[in-house]
């Protein structure tokens, strides 16, 4: 889409979202945005007699939507891809053709408020650059549709809270696209921690990086103010991994270091950090867009367990110090994620990755940045 058109769409999105943020609270009765460590059980099955599928509209037809989410939706049992919301008119014909999307279910960022009256759509899935999540997710919630929002939830805890408030006002479910929380081998690792199978935890480390090229300055992943960089993009997996792997929230960033691109608005290419917990335990995190590593490792009094690799789309493998294999990798975790989230809507149960969890992780990310910039320990 031409830059001028994109700018126009964005200006309008921002203006509309700001107006919504100023609107008085209508209903303060949200019910699902409470858990913080992925403690809810995965929803089991639809309620008796409920065979309805959840209609999903994807907002933002970029690489992840096109390459992973739309194909994964075809593998779900409880979801149907029925709508698109896009700033790129040129993408519309292919999406309509490929997924049989009806004309009346196609929206632009200008017209998306009209989705409020569209009974085909139950959920808006926000899959756009991180710095745009707040505005799009707040607008999506205001239509009265449930909201799925990609990771990282937003740029700051305050922005995350705006999304949570908007979902609560509209009494809709809000789920963050933390696919690992739905991945069966990761869930087995979580259960080992919950059941203390290897005793009390003593330390942990969480590494997620890939050896790519440094992101370019003219793409949002290479722009700090758009949420680009290793820590937001990949590091959020390490922060969230330590949350579900330890079932604890960190209380401080002990120290952190970032290697950043040396240009205006340049991003971090690699970030390392140490977290501390209320019980005194520490954990190490490392993330990169130019170096390869991928594992979540938990040390406990009577042994260790890990997932390695910890967050690829396919092939998460888990093992323990006494030789147990956690289970075979699953073919498509995004379809499991969306089915879980659809069942939470159909059954009116809690989601596995609520907004409060997304917000808590962004608070850790901000503390890591502050610690790297000041060279000091930062309380979370």
315: tokens are: 């092939």
| Nearer to ligand NDP (CB atom), residue 200 or residue 225 | 225
| Nearer to ligand NDP (CB atom), residue 1 or residue 19 | 1
C-alpha 379: how far from chain center: 24
Minimal distance, residue 33 CB to ligand NDP, in Å: 19
* Closest among 196, 23, 11, 3 to 88, alpha carbons compared: 3
243: enclosing H helix or E strand = helix 236-246
In the three-class reduction of DSSP (H, G, I as helix; E, B as strand; rest coil), residue 81 is classed as: strand
| Nearer to ligand NDP (CB atom), residue 233 or residue 268 | 233
Report d(CA 366, CA 152) in Å as an integer.
12
Minimal distance, residue 123 CB to ligand NDP, in Å: 16
Minimal distance, residue 373 CB to ligand NDP, in Å: 23
Residues 6 or more apart whose CB falls under 8 angstroms from that of 45 comprise: 343
| Nearer to ligand NDP (CB atom), residue 86 or residue 274 | 86
122: tokens are: 């139950």
Report d(CA 265, CA 308) in Å as an integer.
33
Report d(CA 34, CA 354) in Å as an integer.
7
The residue at minimum Cβ distance from ligand NDP is 62
Minimal distance, residue 200 CB to ligand NDP, in Å: 32
Minimal distance, residue 7 CB to ligand NDP, in Å: 9
Question: Under the phi-then-psi rule, with left for phi > 0, alpha for psi from -120 to 50, and beta for the rest, what region is 126?
Answer: beta
Which parts of this chain interact with ligand NDP (CB under 6 A)?
1, 10, 60-65, 86-88, 91, 127-130, 132, 150-151, 177, 179, 220, 233
Minimal distance, residue 235 CB to ligand NDP, in Å: 11
| Nearer to ligand NDP (CB atom), residue 88 or residue 347 | 88
| Nearer to ligand NDP (CB atom), residue 252 or residue 339 | 339
Minimal distance, residue 144 CB to ligand NDP, in Å: 22
Q: How many CB atoms lie within 10 A of CB 220?
A: 17
| Nearer to ligand NDP (CB atom), residue 279 or residue 314 | 314
Antiparallel, parallel or unpaired: β 268-276 and 282-288:
antiparallel
Asked if residues 222 and 262 have their Cβ atoms less than 8 Å apart, the reply is no
């Amino acid at each position: 889409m031409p830059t001028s058109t994109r700018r126009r769409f964005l200006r309008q999105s921002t203006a509309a979202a700001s107006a919504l943020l100023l609107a008085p609270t209508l209903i303060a009765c949200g019910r699902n945005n409470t858990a913080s460590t992925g403690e809810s059980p995965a929803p089991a099955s639809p309620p008796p007699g409920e065979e309805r599928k959840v209609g999903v509209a994807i907002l933002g037809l970029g690489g992840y939507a096109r390459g992973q989410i739309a194909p994964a939706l075809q593998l779900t049992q409880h979801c149907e891809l029925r709508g698109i919301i896009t700033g790129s008119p040129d993408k519309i014909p292919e999406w309509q053709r490929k997924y049989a999307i009806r004309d009346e279910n196609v929206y632009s960022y200008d017209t998306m408020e009209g989705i409020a009256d569209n009974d085909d759509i139950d959920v808006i899935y926000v899959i756009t650059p991180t710095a745009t999540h707040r505005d799009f997710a707040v607008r999506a919630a205001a239509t009265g549709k449930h909201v799925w929002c990609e990771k990282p939830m937003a740029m700051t805890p305050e922005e995350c809270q705006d999304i949570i408030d908007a979902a609560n006002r509209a009494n809709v479910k809000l789920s963050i696209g933390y696919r690992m929380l739905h991945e069966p081998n990761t869930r087995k690792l979580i259960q080992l921690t919950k059941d203390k199978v290897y005793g009390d935890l003593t330390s942990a480390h969480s590494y997620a990086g890939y050896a790519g090229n440094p992101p370019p300055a003219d793409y949002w992943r290479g722009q700090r103010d758009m949420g680009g960089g290793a820590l937001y993009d990949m590091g959020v997996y390490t922060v969230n991994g330590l949350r579900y792997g330890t079932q604890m929230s960190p209380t401080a960033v002990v120290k952190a270091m970032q290697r950043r691109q040396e240009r205006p608005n340049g991003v971090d290419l690699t970030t390392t950090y140490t977290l501390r917990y209320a019980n005194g335990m520490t954990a190490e995190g490392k993330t990169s867009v130019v170096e390869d590593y991928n594992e979540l490792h938990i040390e406990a009094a009577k042994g260790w367990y890990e997932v390695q690799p910890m967050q690829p789309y396919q092939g998460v493998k888990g093992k323990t110090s006494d030789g147990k294999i956690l289970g075979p990798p699953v073919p498509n975790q995004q379809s499991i994620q969306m089915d879980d989230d659809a069942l939470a809507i159909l059954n009116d149960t809690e989601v596995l990755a609520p907004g409060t969890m997304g917000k808590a992780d962004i608070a850790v990310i901000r503390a890591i940045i502050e610690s790297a910039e000041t060279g000091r320990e930062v309380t979370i």
